[in-house]
Structure 1
Amino acid sequence: MKSYSITEINSILNGELIGNPELIIQRPEQLERATSTDITFIGSTKYISLWKTSKAAAAIVNENFNVEPGEGRALIKVKNADLAMAQILEVFNPGPPELGVDIHPTAVIHETAVIGENCIIGAGCYVGKDVRLGKSVVLYPNVTILDKTSIGDHTVLWSGTVIRERCEVGSHCIIHSNVSIGADGFGYRPCPEGKGLIKIPQIGNVIIGNGVEIGSNSCIDRGKFSSTIIGDGCKIDNLVQIGHNSVLGRSCIMAGSSGLAGSVTLGDGVIIGGSASIKDHTTIHSGAIVGAGSGVMRDVAAGQTVLGYPACDSKDMLKQWVALRNLIKN
């Protein structure tokens, strides 16, 4: 990993350097684990007290915090330490693994597939009939892309990902390991004779916009008809389930282990907390927030925050919890 002087780091951030200007920084690290060659970050007042006992050489802090560097150490004051942290992590980023060759000899690519310029295809990949890869697409080893699927420019698919037939993925997306896109939606009806279940064919696809990131082991099911749609800029965590014919607007966030049943609609900028679950045919309007672990059974208004199981307005749910706690005490 590269090392930088504290003045070089400050020139990147355009902050205010206070304290020792001679420090050499070898890596970023959290406050509790940092050593004498590390830089750390203080983006919340609750971490200020940890600075005195931290062994870090330097810290990036919000400019409105009352913090002193201490002997031999330094601070860089910025407007937003969290955003500055993202810049520094990018500077210290060692980069992705190198596959060595553009197209590995063990990759299987159908003769009808169209491969764009500067694509990298790793060992054991399968690229099916009439697949189209845009420019500078990266497929890490053992990615499967089935027939008539298209992948946009500069999209990266990590190992184990499977994209089923007729799906569309936009440009500048990141699909992490073992993601399933376009598997059959969960559709069954009782058999008329009462002897089992009839599978409902799922003949739609999945359409993913530009700049989408999908975490490991997440699943996005194809539509029963038409499409399951993930809008531009959405960020989906690990172990997320998105049911058939759901539609996400722009820049939605879904945290780990949350799930949408079939035909759920999210507006723009919706945030779904970890382990939350959303009932089928529900609409969560733009800017709404669903708290972690909540169960949404009905539509949520734009900008509203809901919490609990079943979910209701967060203020009402907090009052219920206080009332229950007082009831137990009595």
Structure 2
Amino acid sequence: MKSYTVQEINEVLKGILVGNTSQNITSPEQLEVANDTEISFIGNKKYEKFWEKSKACVAIVNEDISIPPGENRAFIKVKNADLAMSQVLELFARPMPQFYVEIHPTALVDKSALIGVGSKIGAGSYIGPKVKIGENTTVYPNATILDECTIGRNTIIWSGAVIRERSQIGNDCIIHPNATIGADGFGFRPCAQKGLVKIPHIGNVIIGDGVEIGANSCVDRGKFSSTIIGDGCKIDNLVQIGHNSKLGKFCIMAGNSGLAGSVTLGNGVIIGGSASIKDHVTIGDGAVIGAGSGVTGDIPAGKTMLGYPAVEARDALRQWAILKRMVTDSKK
């Protein structure tokens, strides 16, 4: 089991050590449930009140901490406790699942596929014709990569993921279990003879570098050209991205949110959990869409939107306050 002194951890974080502890630190843990050999963090001043009852021997804290650590306990002051905690988690992270052969004998790899040096293909996986996989990429057991897909280097495809034909995935990406990349878009039109006619989607999906797609999320292929996920985007679990949508760089989409077809997100857009975005909407750079909101029209860059239908955050809060007063007055 890994363990570190507080001084060894601070050498990594390069923070300011306040107080000291003789305990060896064996793992990170939440503040409320940590024991006396564990390290935690206080990412906001409102959580300072939990420190006194916590048993953690060390906490990573922001520079504005206003309480002392106490006897045989220590704080490591840093500019951003959340980011520093991610470094600590890396110290204690356990190894990824191991491969004992690069291509498992039960994997089906088409003879025309090109597999880069150091890449690994797990048991029961399928790699279709003319697939290209870069160096040091890992395909875990029972993943499917269909015809003419291109996967970059140092990418991880977890078990159960399906990468449909002609999809392109960049370098340093992570596709989590049971995600589907390149499924048909949702397109049907009424027809007197057949009821509903399915609209073919003949495009593909292009995913940039450093993208993470959460478990059970779906990125649909374009109807004509490509659905595009820009570099550095982070997509949570159970997210739907509709056909021909285009995400700029470093966008975030939280769980259960969804984009209808042909939505455009600028760079650095944040979509909160369970938010839904109407088709053909454009959301500008740096805009934030609050959890559960419904966006029905274009959003300028930098705006924060709340509610259903979504309006500017300050207007939404004002509306909610008025409604609350109306309900209170009606009970008098």
Which bracket does the TM-score occupy, shorter chain normalised? over 0.9
1:22: Cα distance to partner?
Answer: 2.7
Alpha-carbon distance between aligned partners in 1 of 2:208 and 2:254, rounded to the nearest angstrom: 19
Quote the residue 1:14 is aligned against: 14
TM-score by length of 1: 0.98
Cα-to-partner distance string for 1:271-330 (whole Å, 9 max, x where unaligned): 000000000000001111100000000000000111111111111111111111111112
Give the corresponding residue for 1:286.
Answer: 285
Q: Give the secondary-structure state (helix, strand or coil) at the position aligned to 1:24.
A: coil
Letter in 2 for 1:286: D
CA contact (8 A) 2:181 2:220 kept: yes
Shift of 1:18: 2.1
1:66 aligned residue: 66
Does the 8 Å CA contact 1:7/1:21 hold for their aligned counterparts? no
Which residue in the other structure is 1:83 paired with? 83
**Whole-Å Cα distance in 2 between the matches of residues 305 and 64 of structure 1?**
27
Distance in 1 of aligned mates of 2:267 and 2:14: 32
Distance 1:245 1:19 in 2: 55
CA distance in 2, matches of 1:168, 1:191: 34
Runs of 4+ in 1 over 3 A off after TM superposition: none
Which position in structure 2 is the counterpart of 1:51? 51
Tell me, what secondary structure is at the counterpart of 1:306? strand
State the AA in 1 paired with 2:172: H
Secondary structure at 1:4 match in 2:
coil
Q: Write the distance in 2 (CA, Å) between the matches of 1:63 and 1:266.
A: 34
Asked whether 1:96 is paired with 2:99, we answer no
Query: Are the equivalent residues in 1 in contact too, given 2:243–2:262 (CA < 8 A)?
Result: yes
CA spacing shift, 1:141–1:131, aligned 2, 3 Å: same
Scaled by the length of structure 2, what TM-score is found?
0.98
Q: Give the whole-Å Cα distance in 1 for the aligned partners of 2:122 and 2:51.
A: 45
The answer (yes or no) to whether the contact 1:34–1:40 under 8 Å persists in 2 is: yes
* 1:12 counterpart SS class: helix
For the residues of structure 2 that align with 1:66 and 1:325, how far apart are their CA atoms?
Answer: 35
The superposition leaves residues 215-236 of structure 1 with CA deviations (integer Å, 9 ceiling, x where unpaired) of 0000000001100000000000
**127-136 vs 314-323, which deviates more?**
314-323
1:148-190 per-residue CA deviation (whole Å, 9 max, x = no partner) reads: 0000000001000000000100000011000000000001000
Residues 151, 171 of structure 2: 8 Å contact kept: yes
Q: Name the stretch that deviates more: 155-164 or 195-204.
A: 195-204
Matches within 5 A, 1:1-330: 1-193=1-193, 195-330=194-329
CA distance in 1, matches of 2:21, 2:198: 68
Q: Which amino acid in the other structure matches residue 253 of structure 2?
A: M
Which range is displaced more, 12-21 or 70-79? 12-21
- Cα distance, 1:21 vs. partner? 4.5
Between the aligned partners of 2:21 and 2:51, the Cα distance in structure 1 is: 18
Taking the aligned partners of 2:76 and 2:228, their CA distance within structure 1 comes to 42
The SS at the match of 2:165 is coil
Equivalent pair of 2:162/2:180 in contact (CA under 8 Å): yes
The CA deviation string for residues 12-35 of structure 1, in whole angstroms up to 9 with x for no partner, is 111122222432100011101100
The CA distance in 1 between the partners of 2:21 and 2:10, in whole Å, is 10
User: What 5-or-longer segments of structure 1 have no aligned partner?
Assistant: none
Residues 62-116 of structure 1: CA distance to partner in whole angstroms, max 9, x if unpaired? 1221121111111111121111101111111112111222111000000000000
Amino acid of the residue matched to residue 299 of structure 1?
D
Q: Name the SS of the counterpart of 2:325 in structure 1.
A: helix
Distance in 1, Cα, partners of 2:6 & 2:269: 38
The separation in 1 between residues aligned to 2:75 and 2:299, in whole angstroms, is 44
Amino acid at match of 2:266: G
2:112 and 2:187 map into 1 onto residues whose CA distance is 32
Q: Secondary structure at the match of 1:25?
A: coil
3-state SS of paired residue (1:82): helix
Look up the equivalent residue of 2:154 and give its one-letter code: H
Query: What is the alpha-carbon root mean square deviation over aligned residues?
Result: 0.9
The runs of 5 or more residues in structure 2 that have no matched partner are: none
Deviation at 1:262, TM superposition (A): 0.3
Q: Secondary structure at the match of 2:223?
A: coil
